[in-house]
Amino acid sequence: MRLEEWIRNGPVLADGAWGTELQRRGLEPGACPDQWNLIRSEAVAEVARSYVKAGSRVILTNTFRANAIALTGYGLGAEAAAMNRAGAAISREAAAGHVLVAGSIGPTGKMLLLGETTEQEALRAFAQQAQALAEGGVDALLVETMSDLAEAKLALAAARQTGLPVIVSFVFDSGKEKDRTMMGVTPEQAAREIVEAGADAVGANCGLGIAGYVPICRRLRQATPLPVWIKPNAGLPELVGGELVYRTTPAEFAAFVPALVEAGATFIGGCCGTTPDFIRAASQALAAISSKAGA
């Protein structure tokens, strides 16, 4: 299925955060969330089902860190393929054929520029992950939370080998105007280069809260005619009693959904700190927009 078919009826609602939802279910700080696909699969399924129930039309897989390089830091590198296949199966079952599943591919956590890993090693790890997610039956692949264009292009190249649609999303939260990735990449540069490399959609996730991603979304839309994927955090967290607390409420988050649609977002969801309540509120905001458009 091509992405054009996903969005022909207007903006599509994605899901919210996974890591913080798993922490609510007992995931210890510093533990590997992706391992839960193998050892706590029902808890992972609860998260997936909660987003489907909240109104998500696209849900992700619990595989953000499930590349062999990142998993080696947990001593779990050998389980990468199994974690990805399991993660895809869990989300597919929760989707029950009613919503789409995008396989989550995050960064390796190693800096290419500093020689912490090589392009060949990264490409191999991403290819293994993408293939396992495809074998698990995902509808598309999402390369997300990228800061380095070189790494994003490697992940994209690996993902394209599956023949599935590939969305590539960056974190824009650095620089004086908070409109660059940690590596200094602008929205325009990210869109231009990743589209030239063969992405089917481009986007922004994590980093800023939803208000900060409205202008980022507009710049991505102006830079490319391809679908734009936007998944902001629930604002910037505060450290309270040793825990990260997100102050943005679901209603405050949803209040910016019309602005994101106006700015050109074709996929809208939430990242760190967002919950099914955020997605439910965003769903209502999108429904109100559709109602006005049809009036």
Structure tokens at 34: 């992706």
Structure tokens at 186: 């602008």
In the prediction, which pLDDT does 295 show? Answer: 55
Long-range Cβ contacts of 158-162 (<8 Å, 24+ apart): 158/123, 158/126, 158/127, 158/129, 158/130, 159/105, 159/126, 159/130, 160/198, 161/127, 161/130, 161/131, 162/130, 162/131, 162/133, 162/134
* pLDDT tens profile 127-167: 999 999 999 999 999 999 999 999 999 999 999 999 999 99
Region of poorest pLDDT, from 18-32, 147-161, 182-196, 232-246:
232-246
Q: How many CB atoms lie within 10 A of CB 154?
A: 24
* pLDDT tens profile 53-98: 999 999 999 999 999 999 999 999 999 999 999 999 999 999 999 9
Confidence of residue 208 (pLDDT cuts 50, 70, 90): confident
Instruction: Say yes or no to pLDDT of 1 above 70.
Output: no
Residues 63, 104: contact at Cβ < 8 Å?
yes
Per domain, the residue ranges of the chain are 3-294
List Cβ neighbours of 58 (8 Å cut-off, separation of 6 or more): 6, 12, 13, 14, 15, 99, 100, 101, 102, 267, 269
Residues 26, 73: contact at Cβ < 8 Å?
no
Average pLDDT over residues 216-232: 98
Structure tokens at 29: 């700080």
Q: Identify the CATH class of 3-294.
A: alpha beta
